[in-house]
């Protein structure tokens, strides 16, 4: 069992500040009829108050499972959580369910993607915030109600003293997400986890909510974990970035480093495959071939190798046989890839040059598993259902019609 090095706290005063959250070698497994799903496979990081960690990845990369594990929301006998999750020094993995329940809402809180399903339609918004507050604080209903009105006002709900009695359906999408944030912050938690908080919202409302999260973080000095698939959102609010692939961390470091000099082929792929408004219009996007792997049969060695075009640059068969460990490429910027650091810099320099934009070398065909493999998607990843046989199809897909690169 390899131990992934943790992301060191950023900033000079790191030693003086006790991190709010420390995660060490977190692993989450689900037993299913088809096999064991290794949803999270050795994730470590730490986070201080007032800091934001952005976790990026595609569906099935384990980012949401990580956050649910921190919140202690994985139940049932078929789930196995190992490793360490320390919140203010207290280990949550070994803590009793009752203890985690006390901490949830009080010291850590979560905002979900879809505020309409996360709010109870039958109770007024105020009622739900009051309930959350009174579970953790022995106060009268009047005091709690004042707190709810105060919180709704702070998250920017107009006329909070009246709107506190409204029901969720009377709020617009953006206002519901504001109400969720008010509920999450009502007990002043040290840690706030936001799981795709703006995915369901329009772009102008998204900008409002992101601004709100930043403002409230400055005010409450919470540590924030922001989980999203949108690289733009992460860049906008995060101090630290953690890129996940197939349940493993592949790149981590300060936001500036990860975005200006990304060093993992998967990160290059993500940046190359998204259309961008800030750079000139690319003639053609450069997609990552294939689909994310099954978490039941994770590819051997580097989990990304079946989709990676740079294997030929690595000596021998290491990509296929040896799991790469996170290694430093710059101060506190760590990457799990066998490519030599100098070569990575060269490749990225070429990739990021808007004039050249070379296509990455194609994936060697022998890396593609045979076509007769089982096609069914794994249970926990309806979308990621990236199966071996299917992979063979998609790899060629980008080359079928008009495969020549347009310049």
Partner 1 sequence: MSDDLLAVSGLTRHFPVSRGAIIRRTVASVRAVDGIDFSLARGETLGIVGESGCGKTTTGRMLARLDKPTAGTIILDGRDITRLSMGQMRPLRREIGMIFQDPYSSLNPRHTVGTIVGAPLRVQGVATEHGVKRAVQDLLALVGLNPEHYNRYPHEFSGGQRQRIGIARTLALRPKLIIADEPVSALDVSIQAQVINLLDDLQEQLGLSYVIIAHDLAVVRHISTRVAVMYLGKIVEIGDGDELYARPRHPYTVALLSAVPLPEPVTAGAAAANGSGGSRARRERIRLVGDVPSPLNPPSGCRFHTRCWKARDICKSVEPPLVQAAGSADAHLSACHFPENAG
Nearer to partner 1, 4 or 240 (CB): 240
- Give the closest residue to 241 by CA, choosing from 221, 264, 218: 264
Q: In whole angstroms, give the CA distance from residue 30 to residue 229.
A: 23
- Let me know: does 18 contact 87? Beta carbons within 8 Å: no
What is the smallest separation between the CB atom of 346 and partner 1, expressed in angstroms? 21
**According to CB under 8 A, which one of 189, 254, 301, 324 is a site residue for partner 1?**
254
- Sign of the dihedral defined by the CA atoms of residues 176, 181, 184, 185, in that order: negative
Binding positions for partner 1, 13-52, rule CB under 8 A: 13-14
Burial of residue 282 (CB within 10 Å: 0-12, 13-18, 19+) is middle
240 touches partner 1 by CB under 8 A: yes
- Give the closest residue to 45 by CA, choosing from 197, 244, 184: 244
**For the chain, the helix, strand and coil percentages under 3-state DSSP, each to the nearest 5:** 35, 20, 45
330 touches partner 1 by CB under 8 A: no
**According to CB under 8 A, which one of 68, 234, 295, 368 is a site residue for partner 1?**
234
Binding positions for partner 1, 184-203, rule CB under 8 A: 202-203
371 touches partner 1 by CB under 8 A: yes
Binding segment (CB under 8 A) for partner 1, from list 19-27, 87-95, 147-155, 207-215: 207-215
- One character per residue 105-144, x = contact with partner 1 (rule: CB under 8 A): ----------------------------------------
Beta strands 21-32 and 240-245 are: unpaired
H or E stretch covering 266? helix 265-273
**According to CB under 8 A, which one of 5, 35, 153, 232 is a site residue for partner 1?**
232
* Six token digits for residue 117: 């399903």
Nearer to partner 1, 365 or 402 (CB): 402
Binding positions for partner 1, 52-71, rule CB under 8 A: 58-59
273 touches partner 1 by CB under 8 A: yes
Beta-ladder partners of 43: 26
**According to CB under 8 A, which one of 72, 126, 160, 292 is a site residue for partner 1?**
292
**According to CB under 8 A, which one of 148, 225, 288, 296 is a site residue for partner 1?**
288
H or E stretch covering 232? helix 231-237
* Six token digits for residue 197: 């908080």
């Amino acid at each position: 069992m390899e131990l992934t090095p943790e992301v060191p706290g950023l900033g000079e005063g790191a030693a003086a500040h006790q991190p709010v959250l420390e995660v060490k070698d977190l692993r989450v497994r689900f037993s299913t009829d088809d096999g064991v799903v290794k949803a999270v496979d050795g994730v470590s990081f730490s986070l201080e108050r007032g800091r934001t960690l952005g976790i990026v990845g595609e569906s099935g990369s384990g980012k949401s499972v990580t956050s649910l594990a921190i919140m202690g929301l994985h139940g049932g006998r078929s789930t196995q959580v190992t490793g360490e999750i320390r919140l203010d020094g207290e280990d949550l993995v070994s803590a009793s369910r009752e203890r985690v329940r006390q901490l949830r809402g009080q010291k850590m809180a979560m905002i979900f993607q879809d505020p309409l399903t996360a709010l109870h339609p039958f109770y007024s918004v105020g009622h739900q915030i009051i309930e959350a507050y009174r579970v953790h604080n022995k106060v009268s209903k009047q005091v709690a109600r004042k707190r709810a009105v105060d919180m709704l006002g702070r998250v920017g709900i107009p006329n909070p003293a009246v709107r506190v009695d409204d029901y969720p359906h009377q709020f617009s999408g953006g206002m519901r997400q504001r109400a969720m944030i008010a509920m999450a912050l009502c007990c002043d938690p040290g840690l706030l986890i936001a799981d795709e908080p703006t995915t369901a919202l329009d772009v102008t409302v998204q900008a409002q909510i992101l601004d709100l999260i930043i403002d409230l973080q400055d005010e409450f000095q919470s540590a924030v974990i922001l989980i999203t698939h949108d690289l733009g959102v992460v860049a906008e609010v995060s101090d630290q970035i953690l890129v996940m692939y197939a349940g493993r961390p592949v790149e981590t470091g300060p936001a500036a480093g990860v975005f200006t000099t990304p060093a993992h082929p998967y990160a290059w792929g993500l940046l190359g495959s998204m259309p961008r408004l800030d750079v000139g219009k690319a003639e053609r996007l450069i997609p990552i071939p294939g689909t994310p792997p099954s978490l039941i049969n994770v590819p051997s060695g580097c989990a990304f190798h079946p989709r990676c075009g740079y294997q030929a640059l690595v000596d021998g068969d290491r990509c296929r046989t040896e799991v790469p460990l996170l290694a430093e490429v710059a101060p506190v910027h760590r990457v799990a890839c066998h490519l030599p650091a100098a070569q990575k810099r060269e490749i990225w320099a070429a990739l990021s040059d808007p004039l050249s934009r070379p296509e990455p070398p194609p994936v060697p065909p022998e890396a593609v598993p045979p076509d007769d493999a089982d096609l069914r998607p794994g249970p926990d990843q309806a979308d990621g259902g990236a199966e071996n046989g299917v992979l063979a199809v998609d790899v060629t897909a980008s080359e079928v019609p008009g495969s020549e690169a347009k310049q």
